[in-house]
Amino acid sequence: MKHLLLLRHAEAEQSPPGLGDFDRMLTERGHAQAQQAATSIAATALSIDIVLASPARRARDTISIVAETLGLPISIDFDPHLYLGSPDALLQALRLIRPDAHTVLLVGHNPGISELAQQLGASAPAITLRTGGLCHLTFAHGDWSALGTVKSSTIALVR
Question: pLDDT tens digit string along 62-78?
Answer: 999 999 999 998 889 99
Is 139 part of a structural domain of the chain? yes
Give CA–CA dist 114/119, Å, rounded: 9
Count up the domains in the chain and report the number: 1
Is 17 part of a structural domain of the chain? no
CATH number of the domain that 36 lies in? 3.40.50.1240
| Global pTM value | 0.94
Count of other CB atoms within 10 angstroms of residue 130 = 14
Predicted confidence band of residue 124 (pLDDT cuts 50, 70, 90): low
Is 86 part of a structural domain of the chain? yes
Tens of pLDDT, residue by residue over 105-121, are 999 999 999 999 999 98
Is 65 part of a structural domain of the chain? yes
Give CA–CA dist 146/152, Å, rounded: 11
Expressed as residue numbers, the domain containing 81 is 2-12+23-157
